[in-house]
């Protein structure tokens, strides 16, 4: 095979890659094996193979192959591979988003990993949706995800998801998340129905977490909510520390 001569006799790796790729694209299994060995052992070669495939995106499956080799190059530390994957990911390629998510997780950069998971989840990637829904994020991460969903900084605004993550942060003791969740449930026209009961439940949490203004909001909204929520507000005032303040 010509590729073998280029690789073993002439030491011309770029030409060997060209010939191995040509044979692999025609279904030659051994050529594909050699191509993958070269890519795995050398980040620059992996990147070169990826670029060749990306230049042939009009051919079926070649963009997918480019993503595979970019990911191999990235795992081996090729900085330009990350740039190419980012460009493809920001253009909406969900497999590039998935690859970047895993890359940043492996680097311990959770916030960047979350951003790419959000982009992929928006495109319907089941594994990335599962990651966002089932990972036990810390309180700071939950609050940041909620802000991203509300602000459109990372993905299209999604108030329903913002409420979910504000709720998770609130449950972990984040006072500002409790307040913001209550405020969103007071608003109408954001794709979510006005829900004063939910708003008050959030304000009860933020009041318990030390927010004085939330108690004023509860006093104002209390007459317009269900009997159950009125009961919860009453219970809040009955229990410490609020019962001591009322006696004072």
SS (H, E, C) 134-201: HCCCCHHHHHHHHHHHHHCCCCCCCHHHHHHHHHHHHHCCCHHHHHHHHHHHHCCCCCCCCCHHHHHH
Taking 70 as the threshold, does the pLDDT of residue 245 lie above it? no
pLDDT at 233: 85
Taking 80 as the threshold, does the pLDDT of residue 231 lie above it? yes
The token pair at 243 is 């019962």
What distance in Å separates the CA atoms of residue 248 and residue 240, rounded to the nearest whole number?
13
Q: Which of these ranges, 78-82, 89-93, 235-239, has the smallest mean pLDDT?
A: 235-239
Q: Which of these ranges, 127-141, 217-231, 232-246, has the smallest mean pLDDT?
A: 232-246
What distance in Å separates the CA atoms of residue 32 and residue 11, rounded to the nearest whole number?
19
Give residue-wise pLDDT tens across range 147-167. 999 998 999 999 999 999 999
Give residue-wise pLDDT tens across range 97-131. 999 999 999 999 999 999 999 999 999 999 999 99
Give residue-wise pLDDT tens across range 164-173. 999 999 999 9
3-class SS of residue 234: helix
Q: Which residues have a Cβ under 8 Å from the Cβ of 48 and sit 6 or more positions away?
A: 14, 17
Average pLDDT over residues 46-55: 97
């Amino acid at each position: 095979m010509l590729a073998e001569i280029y690789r073993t006799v002439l030491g011309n790796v770029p030409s060997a890659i060209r010939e191995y790729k040509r044979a692999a694209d025609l279904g030659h299994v051994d050529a594909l094996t050699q191509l993958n060995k070269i890519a795995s052992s050398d980040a620059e070669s992996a990147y070169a193979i990826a670029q060749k495939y990306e230049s042939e995106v009009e051919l079926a499956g070649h963009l997918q192959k480019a993503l595979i080799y970019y990911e191999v190059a990235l795992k081996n530390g090729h900085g330009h591979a990350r740039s190419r994957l980012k460009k493809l990911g920001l253009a909406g390629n969900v497999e590039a988003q998935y690859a970047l998510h895993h890359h940043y997780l492996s680097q311990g950069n959770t916030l960047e990993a979350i951003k790419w998971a959000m982009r992929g989840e928006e495109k319907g990637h089941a594994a990335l949706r599962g990651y966002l829904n089932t990972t036990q994020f810390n309180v700071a991460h939950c609050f940041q995800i909620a802000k991203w969903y509300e602000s459109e900084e990372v993905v299209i605004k999604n108030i329903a998801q913002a409420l979910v993550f504000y709720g998770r942060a609130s449950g972990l003791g984040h006072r500002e998340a409790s307040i913001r969740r209550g405020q969103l449930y007071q608003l109408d026209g954001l794709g979510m129905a006005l829900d004063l009961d939910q708003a008050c439940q959030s304000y009860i949490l933020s009041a318990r977490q030390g927010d004085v203004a939330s108690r004023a909001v509860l006093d104002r909204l209390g007459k317009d909510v269900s009997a159950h929520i009125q009961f919860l507000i009453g219970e809040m005032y009955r229990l410490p520390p609020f019962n001591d303040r009322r006696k004072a």
